Copies of this chain bind each other. A is one copy, B any other.
Amino acid sequence: MNLSKTSEYALRIMSYMAMDDKKLHRANDIFESLQIPFRYLRKQMTNLTKSGIIISVQGKNGGYRISRSIGEISLLDIIHATGDQQIMTNCFFGFENCALNRQCAMHDKWDEIRQNINQVLASTSLAELNENGPDNFISNNSIQITKNS
């Protein structure tokens, strides 16, 4: 599997924001804790805003805030918010149009794997994530990317 990098970023961002979920987070603060190129992060923040999963406040002292209770936001919600709708291809072999007269040996196995992943992502909330080591998995070590304004 590969989540798109964009989804990985979104997951980092939301997890970070969940650590102080009522706060208005500035893009700059988020940048300093995550390892995401600054301008790309900025772009994605407005994307996430458009998706409705966060809200933005413009102007001086502006920033972003999680729009719902972190107990109600699943990791799958976050992935979907980025536009990645389907995380794994339906057919293991990548066929768009399988005849499916009778299923091949991989069909059910693959289906099971996909369901398993979906179940984990759908049942894990930001709140749960937040209870467990957010100060760790958010690599709040020193910044590794230079910002360049």
Contacts and interface: CB of A to CB of B under 8 A. Distances in A.
A40 interface: no
Given A89-B2, A94-B5, A137 B106 contact: yes
Copies in the complex: 2
12 contacts: A2-B88, A3-B92, A9-B94, A15-B93, A97-B141, A98-B139, A101-B136, A103-B132, A104-B133, A104-B136, A105-B131, A105-B133
Interface string A108-135: 0100011011001000100011011110
B136 A124 contact: no
A112 to B, nearest CB: 8
A53 interface: no
